[in-house]
Amino acid sequence: MKPPLIGITTGYEQHGEAVVSLGRRYICAVERAGGVPVTLAPLQEQRLVERYVHQLDGLIVSGGKDIPPALYGEEPLPETDPLAEERPVFEMQLVRLFHEMDKPVLGICYGCQLLNVAFGGTLIQDIPSQVGNGVKHRRQSSQEPHARHVVSIRQGSLLSRILRANEVEIVSSHHQAVKQLGTHLLVTALAPDGVIEAIELEDARFFIGVQWHPEMDPEAEATHRLLRAFIEAASGNENR
């Protein structure tokens, strides 16, 4: 059986000429799990977006800066650093189309937030000022090691069946998070301070967002289980 083609969305920066980028860790994570990574630059034509969806077997929405608050009906806080709308608008189209075709979707960090906004949810724009500093959700400088903390997994969820654990330690690098859930989304993991760390779409075959960075923790058992389950779903081999 051919390995599945996995689309991975890219960063999009407008500094004079627009530049798209993707951290190599995402590519390595898909390769290691048995998929073929395909980088996806933002497109504007609906018919071309639909071709992406028809030709790919699964989708990863990668990490990035902040989603423009206008996309979920809010004004930006001073701490918010929104990216250009081209990227999230494109990704929301992709996510909805993948869901319509019952193809697996995995959102990572920003990607988890994007899944929520795509289905009508809202975001905490800045955890330190809106929630507090009870849990370190990101490092303060590039000289520090990445932040780590434990998350508790909701039993009975698809995520719990995949990870086979009540809690896991994760690599964290974010200052925003899911606030109000989008339609038919469920909370499946929480940080000790109550910040939502994972969501999934009710009754979907595989539609999961994790607020952490599995690609930054390649040797972790939780990373292996999550990415293998995603690739198996994209291959049509998951246990029903």
DSSP state letters, 139-171 = -SSTTSPPEEEEEEEPTTSHHHHHH--SEEEEE
* Residue-level pLDDT at 237: 54
Per residue in 128-152, pLDDT (tens digit) is 999 999 999 999 877 788 999 999 9
CB 167 within 8 A of CB 230: no
Enumerate the β-bridge partners of residue 167.
Answer: 152
- Flag whether pLDDT at 100 surpasses 50: yes
Is 112 designated active site?
no
Q: Please report whether residue 240 resides in a domain.
A: no
Band the pLDDT of 84: cuts 50, 70, 90: confident
Which pLDDT score is estimated for 238? 52
Active-site residue (options: 91, 197, 200, 215): 215
pLDDT-derived band at 239, boundaries 50, 70, 90: very low
- Is 29 part of any domain? yes
pLDDT at 240 over 60: no
Domain count, the chain: 1
Is residue 213 flagged as an active site residue? yes
Average pLDDT of every residue of the chain: 95
- Domain at 211, CATH number: 3.40.50.880
Mean pLDDT of 80-103: 96
Q: Is residue 156 part of a domain?
A: yes
Distance in angstroms (rounded) separating the CA atoms of residues 153 and 165: 7
Least confident of 156-160, 210-214, 234-238: 234-238
Please pick, among 99, 137, 174, 213, the residue that the annotation labels catalytic: 213
Find the domain containing 167 and state its range.
5-235
pLDDT above 80 (res 1): no
The active-site residue out of 91, 109, 137, 197 is 109
Which region, left, alpha or beta, applies to residue 34 given φ > 0 means left and ψ of -120 to 50 means alpha? Answer: left
Q: For residue 25, is pLDDT > 70?
A: yes
Active site residue 109: yes
